[in-house]
Amino acid sequence: MSNARKWLLGSLAVVALATVYVSLEVALSRSAMAEDRPAGDHWAHFDGHWSFWHEGDKRWYYTDGAHWYYYSPTGWVLYTFDKLFGLTGFERAHYRLPEPAKVVVPRHEVYHR
C-alpha cells in the first residue's frame, strides 16, 4: 500500500509541474506576441513579401507594384479603391482609357501570430 501511495504522489507532482510549465509557457508567448506587434498601422515582412496592416480597417494590404490587394478569409482580393474618387474637383481634358490589364492575384499567405 505504501508503494502505491508513493506512485500516486509522484504522479500528482509530475502533473502539477507540467501544468505550471504549460501555464508559464502560454503566458510568456502571449506577452512576446504583444511586444512583437507594433500598435497602429505597420508593415510586416513574411515569406519574401511585405504586407501592410491598417489598424482602421483591421486588415492586411499587399501591393505588387501595380495593384493593391487586401486579405480576406477566402484569400487575397483585388482592392479596387473608391469608384467615385477623382470624379470631381479637376478639369476634364483629353484622356485616353488604358488597355485592360491582366491581374494575377497573389497566392502567398499572411503570417498570423
pLDDT tens figures, 78-102? 888 765 555 555 566 676 777 888 8
Q: Give the start-to-end residue ranges of the domains of the chain.
A: 1-36, 39-113
pLDDT at site 41: 84
Read off the pTM.
0.42
Distance between CA atoms of residues 79 and 75, nearest Å = 12
Nearest to 60 by CA among 50, 71, 49: 71
Q: Where are the alpha helices (DSSP H) in 37-88?
A: none
Angstrom distance (rounded) from CA 107 to CA 28: 32
**Beta-ladder partners of 49:** 46
